[in-house]
Amino acid sequence: MRPPSTDHGGLPNLKFSFADAHVKMKEGGWSREVTQTELPVATTIAGVNMRLNAGGVRELHWHKQAEWSFMIAGNARITSVDNDGHNFVADVAAGDLWYFPSGIPHSIQGLAPDGCEFLLAFPDGKFSEDDTFAITDMFAHMPKEALAKNMSVDQKVFDHIPPGERFIFKVPIPPALQADTVGSAQGKVPLDMAFRLMQQDPTSSPGGWVRIADTRNFTISSDIAAALVEVNPGHIREIHWHTNADEWQYYLAGQGRMTVFAAQGNARTFDFQAGDVGYVPKAMPHFVENIGKEPLRFLELFNAPRFVDVSLNQWMALTPHELVQAHLNIDRQVIDALPKDKRPIV
Ligand code: MN
Ligand code: MN
């Protein structure tokens, strides 16, 4: 009810919950999105939250924008073929990422026992899941004569194709990965499209941990850099800002509070819980505090090839201390004691 007394002025809304987004419910799963339409400030990234039941398929499709994903729960099989005929089939589980470059066709299917739920991120706030090139939609809108010539078959082959896009639909659960793999004379894709984020060494402290995935370790992910952050109760993702891109956040678990300072005396505080999207324009300093009793877990995503942040503490620690002290009227010993290494969670 009562915001911190330090809040001031008019900032654009920096929060929208997937719980308030329209759900496209299908047999086989569901989908909902938070784009620039829902969160006008979010011009750089749009997000989709999708559930596929066991066997449910997000149909073969592609789009202008690249696709980055974080598996929230369950298991899925993902497929793709690149422009040189390299193919890719992999199974992904909770905590895994995937990345399909712009225009490259792909599919996602929920596996046993209970399918999956994941977050998709696209490096364009205007992107909508309604704006994809679907294989069924394309077949429905190519002349059958052309389809027949293209595949060197009789037109009758296409008597029973679907009348339009299927989007998400139910098919039997596929066989084991090995049995479902198609050989390609060109071989596999040169850059892995899946990434096991939880197998990366975290930056850890008693307050929590951070795992980063960007082009330094997930080479193919040129358009989205990510950090998965866990903050323990009472701790804080330190005051920092990002020099290269706006931040698009997705809250996975726990309860968080973020204040964003926007210069000119303006600041605003927002509370977050699982399923919420947060946004921080480039260069605006912010913190995220765990105000609950459980670990707070969230994703920081950037429309950029690398994760970059500036730490307030590190900046002050590495600047002449008398100069810092003269600005803030803080005891010199406090400035002297600041850590010179970066500590994302304190
Ligand atoms: Mn896609
Ligand atoms: Mn941040």
Q: What is the pLDDT of residues 114-133, one digit of tens each?
A: 999 999 999 999 999 989 99
Range with the lowest mean pLDDT among 134-148, 169-183, 245-259? 169-183
Q: In whole angstroms, how far apart are CA 71 and each of 81, 142, 166, 246?
A: 21, 34, 23, 22
Q: How far does the centroid of ligand 2 lie from the alpha carbon of residue 222, in Å? A: 19
Beta strand 106-110 with 87-93 is unpaired
pLDDT for 188-233, tens place per residue? 999 999 999 999 999 999 999 999 999 999 999 999 999 999 999 9
Average pLDDT over every residue of 325-339: 95
In this predicted structure, what is the pLDDT of residue 28?
Answer: 97
Indicate which ligand has the atom closest to the C-alpha of 259: 2
Instruction: Decide if pLDDT at 274 tops 90.
Output: yes
CB-based burial, 113-150: b 16+ in 10 Å, e otherwise: eebbbbbbbbbbbebebeebebbbbebeeeeeeebeee
- Identify which ligand lies nearest to the alpha carbon of 227: 2
| Confidence (pLDDT) at 10 | 87
| 300 catalytically annotated | yes
- Can you tell me the distance from the alpha carbon of 75 to that of 54, in angstroms, rounded to the nearest whole number? 9
Cβ–Cβ < 8 Å for 285, 339: no
- 80 shares its domain with 214: no
- Check residue 130 and report its DSSP letter: T
Can you tell me the mean pLDDT for 266-289? 98
Q: What's the pTM value of the predicted model, to 2 decimals?
A: 0.97
* Residue 344 covered by a domain: no
Q: Are residues 129 and 213 in the same domain?
A: no
The whole-angstrom separation of Cα 245 and Cα 148 is: 47
Q: What is the mean pLDDT of residues 27-55?
A: 98
Q: Are residues 309 and 272 in the same domain?
A: yes
Residue 222's closest CA among 242, 193, 246, 188?
193
For residue 21, the CA-to-ligand 2 centroid distance in Å is 24
Ligand in nearest proximity to the CA of 65: 1
Q: Categorize the per-residue pLDDT at 35 as very low, low, confident or very high, splitting at 50, 70 and 90.
A: very high
Dist. CA 342–CA 119, nearest whole Å: 29
Closest ligand to C-alpha of residue 310 is 2
Residue 186 shares a structural domain with residue 224: no
pLDDT for the residue 181: 87
How many A from CA of 45 to the centre of ligand 1? 14
In degrees rounded to 5, what are phi and psi of residue 183?
-70, 145
3-state helix, strand, coil in the chain (%, to 5): 15, 40, 45
Antiparallel, parallel or unpaired: β 208-213 and 46-52? unpaired
Instruction: Pick the last residue of a domain from 128, 161, 195.
Output: 195
Q: Are 29 and 162 in the same domain?
A: yes
Q: Which of 215, 276, 285 is nearest to 11 (CA)?
A: 285
The mean pLDDT of 19-34, rounded to a whole number, is: 97
79 C-alpha to ligand 1 centroid (Å)? 11
Task: Name the active-site residue from 165, 289, 300, 322.
Answer: 300
Ligand 1 centroid, distance to 110 Cα (angstroms): 14
CATH code at position 329: 2.60.120.10
Residues 178 and 258 in one domain: no
- Tell me the average pLDDT across 24-53: 98
pLDDT of residue 11: 93
Host H or E run for residue 344: none
121 Cα–ligand 1 center, Å: 10
**Shared-domain flag, residues 60 and 161:** yes
Q: What is the pLDDT of residue 195?
A: 98
Which residues, by Cβ under 5 Å, contact ligand 1, an ion? 67
Verify that 189 and 214 share a domain, yes or no. Answer: no
Q: Which residues contact 114 (CB under 8 A, 6 or more apart)?
A: 53, 54, 74
Q: Are residues 151 and 215 in the same domain?
A: no
Tokens of 34: 């938070």
Q: For residue 140, what are the domain limits?
A: 18-195
Residues 6+ apart with CB under 8 A from 141: none
